[in-house]
Structure 1
Amino acid sequence: MPRVTSAARLPNWFGLYVSLEDSARTIRQYEPESIPGLLQTRAYAEEVTSAPRGLINGQEVERRVNVRMARQSLLTNPRPPHLSVILNEAVLRRKVGGPKVMVEQLMHLIDVSRSLSVMIRVLPFDAGAHGGMTSAFTILDFPQAARSKEPLEPPLVYVDSLTGALYLNKPSEVQAYELAWDDLGNRALDEDASRKRITEALEEFGNG
């Protein structure tokens, strides 16, 4: 599926992120509330894009979901970025769209987690206070220039909201989120244990 990055199809504050995501070497994401867009199924994406009800109309929901599905082709490129995701365990347990939607979504997570370019880890409920308690965030790192070996762009932190986003690239800002990411990584389950935790949630929805 071709990438869809037209500014006409995206809020202005998000269009920039999609173009940066396209050129990133690594994408590190912490999500406390929902599955990241690059890993969502269509049914799950429709549910989260529709919330809160009344913010955007059904036609806009469909347009944004189509863009989100097209963005996922980034992960199947011949040279995809490395996507590293840490999910709060609450994401796995929250019933978005009902058991059928969640079973499909969690099965998709398990399948994608076996890709060499994707790492999914779960931050368990018993992790205690952690560096991601303020908000979700994404850290983008970019490829190096062939001659200088310096990054083509400095690292960038992206933090979004319902109506806008922050793009943070000052060294002190990036360092703060790097520390938060390292703390999350120290507290999260490893990949195998995370896959097991996802499977447990999947089985609970399947039996519901």
Structure 2
Amino acid sequence: MPGPKDLDPSSSPRALLGAELRHARERAGLSQEDLGQRLFVSGSFVGQLEAAVRRMQPEIARLIDVALDTGDFFLRNCQATAKSKYPEHFAEAADAEAEATEIREYAPLLIPGLLQTAEYARAVFRAYQPTAPQRVVDDLVTARMERVRILDDPADPLLWVVLDEAALRRTTGGPKVMTEALRHIAGMIHQSRAIVQVLPFDSGAHASMEGSIKLMDFMEAPPLVYYEGVGTGRLEDDPATVRHQRRTFEFLTAAALPPENSLVMLETMAQDYAHEEHP
């Protein structure tokens, strides 16, 4: 397992807590695997806490305090890392996404968050919460657009997305919103900020018909896979599970259109939506 990443304690409360955990663990003479056994988690999980990839939850913090004889230090301080602008089921995944060096995602039903425009995101959130006050939807859109800023760095992370044709055909927010959404994706491709492949309907049955996949790799922590459902989400670090989902993603890329053909399809569909908007 790679050694823990050197963190800047001033960068975030989560980074500070991860650095303190590493210090306390090493002072106790324990490896990540040793501490993981005492916490009933994997050594990989401990490494992800130390690398600030995962958020420390109170139940884990309580066990850490007992295992490392740190009083209630971690339980008290983990509360500072619990605040998030994201829905509870996605907050930990958003934290991990911000630290990832590579993100691979298959989206079967909608354009994934990192490739969304503000108006597309607004249409999605309004559909999720049709009776919510406008300020709630606005806050969700703002948080989503802040997530997109991780793509501002031209070198990091690598983003590779397989988009199901179904996500492109569903007219979310109307033709104008879809025109802008698809042109935005095409622009990201032209700027070399994303690799995008379209999985067309005529590819038939494929390896991930049961749902979406998000794989995340990190510089100094083991990889993660994220599963998401309606109002639910789960991060998984089991190596066998991650390997299986990585292979599934490879099968998807083999079945999808090549990037060049996918770009042509995206731009053609954007033009079609523009014609619907202005017949």
Identity of aligned residues (%): 34
- Is 2:191 aligned against 1:123? no
Aligned residues of 1:32 and 1:135 also touching (Cα < 8 A): yes
Task: For 1:62, give the aligned amino acid.
Answer: D
Q: Find the counterpart in structure 2 of residue 134 from structure 1.
A: 210
- 1:78, 1:92 → 2: CA distance? 26
Q: Find the counterpart in structure 2 of residue 175 from structure 1.
A: 243
- 1:37, 1:156 → 2: CA distance? 18
- From 23, 40, 45, give the equivalent of 2:99: 23
Q: How far apart are 1:18 and its partner, in Å? A: 1.4
- 1:172, 1:161 → 2: CA distance? 21
Q: What is the correspondence of 1:52-131 to structure 2 with a 5 Å cutoff? A: 52-54=128-130, 56-77=132-153, 79-131=155-207
- 1:169, 1:196 → 2: CA distance? 36
- 2:124, 2:100 → 1: CA distance? 25
Q: Find the counterpart in structure 2 of residue 149 from structure 1.
A: none
Q: Find the counterpart in structure 2 of residue 146 from structure 1.
A: none
- 2:154, 2:116 → 1: CA distance? 21
Q: Find the counterpart in structure 2 of residue 12 from structure 1.
A: 88
Root mean square deviation of aligned Cα = 1.7
The total of aligned residue pairs comes to: 196
- 2:171, 2:129 → 1: CA distance? 17
TM-score, normalised with respect to structure 1: 0.88
Q: How far apart are 1:60 and its partner, in Å? A: 1.8
Structure 1 runs, 4 residues or longer, greater than 6 Å off: none
- 1:11, 1:93 → 2: CA distance? 27
Aligned residues of 2:208 and 2:252 also touching (Cα < 8 A): yes
Q: Rg: which structure is higher? A: 2
Structure 1 unaligned blocks of 5 or more: 144-151
SS at match of 1:113: helix
- Bigger relative contact order, structure 1 or 2 (CA pairs below 8 A, ≥6 apart): 1
Structure 2 unaligned blocks of 5 or more: 1-80
SS at match of 2:128: coil
TM-score, normalised with respect to structure 2: 0.67
Per-residue CA shift, 1:122-172, capped at 9, x if unaligned?
0011111111211111000111xxxxxxxx211100011232211111112
Task: For 1:162, give the aligned amino acid.
Answer: V
- 2:241, 2:138 → 1: CA distance? 35
Q: How far apart are 1:92 and its partner, in Å? A: 1.4
Per-residue CA shift, 1:55-85, capped at 9, x if unaligned?
7443221111100101111001254200000
More helix by share: 2
- Is 2:241 aligned against 1:165? no
Aligned residues of 1:154 and 1:169 also touching (Cα < 8 A): yes
